[in-house]
Structure 1
């Protein structure tokens, strides 16, 4: 009997380079310590780079950590989440923001994220 476990692929979009490095480092350590079957596939400060890096046909086993507001970008984390959700009801999406008042916008788009991480706390 073969024990096949699917690898969770993690994608991170965060506009603040320091916070992006913190998230990536923290997740890598957690994955290693807990021996999780997961890997960080892609981290970026660019919404368009994230969209280019993701195979939208294979996102069911993915976790997306998305900053809501990306200054200087015409594409927000909510826009990306909307695209992801249209392709898969099973992709896991979490938002990262220092603007928790934007949570209502998430509800309006019917994205159904797992959580909202307040990075200002």
Structure 2
């Protein structure tokens, strides 16, 4: 699936950037700042979460795997001073990964039912 981004600062005649992101539909996006770069995380029908440098439209690292179904929700959060990506999906699991390293933070949570949305609160 190809994604397109528009720079709202450009007004009319906006700059549009497109790149191939997922094998299938993209269901969710979240943005954040990692090491001074604005990044986008995306989740899709291919059961992966991907991280992109917004300025270059280049992937940062390998896709995150582990879901056994479509990823339908992603969000970013601060966890003990580190930025994490939280993803949920059709398989009823919630995965947490360190955004800087891509490594899992603990074991996935499971509930046995499709999870369609996420919210994170600083606490």
> TM-score scaled to structure 2, two decimals?
0.27
Larger relative contact order (C-alpha < 8 A, sep ≥ 6)? 1
> TM-score scaled to structure 1, two decimals?
0.27
- Please state which structure has a larger fraction of its residues in strand: 2
- Please state which structure has a larger fraction of its residues in helix: 1
